[in-house]
Amino acid sequence: MENNHENGQAITLYEHIGGETTIRRLVDAFYDRVAVNEVIGPLFTGGFEEIKRKQFMFLTQFTGGPALFTMEFGHPMMRARHMRFPITPAAAEAWLSCMRGAMDEIGLEGEARSFLYERLTQVAHFMVNTAEGGEASQ
């Protein structure tokens, strides 16, 4: 993985994976899977258009691209934004399995994939707010 532009400026993960085009393809492939996932699909009752737009903005800034999400919605506070949904450990695993499937579908491979997946795994686990039986936990 090349780490710098010729002028010495660091190449972001966003640029490395192909920027906007790749993130759009990833988000589309991801929510196609989420929609039919039996564990987390039912949590998405509002349709996918707006959530795809938000996830595109979030992943853009998460990978080091323009801070689109923050510019429109303020601080991401992802855990707080998810508190209205019961997110169990199984839900986090389901989310991650949709993400792996999406990465496979668009052909995101190598170090960039591992790095992004690793970081998303941390975020997904941090989002868990409900024990497996359904009891809320802070």
**Residues found near ligand HEM in the complex (CB under 6 A):** 40, 43-44, 46, 51, 54-55, 58, 73, 78, 81-82, 85, 87, 91-92, 95, 120, 123-124, 127
C-alpha neighbours within 13 Å on the C-beta side of residue 135: 3
Smallest distance from ligand HEM to CB 110, Å:
20
Other CB atoms within a 10 A radius of the CB of residue 6 amount to 5
Classify 136 as helix, strand or coil: strand
Judged by beta carbon, residue 11 or residue 35, the one nearer ligand HEM is 35
59 near 23, Cβ under 8 Å? yes
Q: Which residue is nearest to ligand HEM (CB)?
A: 46
Phi, psi of 80 (to 5 degrees): -60, -40
Judged by beta carbon, residue 9 or residue 137, the one nearer ligand HEM is 137
- Amino acid occupying residue 100: R
Judged by beta carbon, residue 6 or residue 38, the one nearer ligand HEM is 38
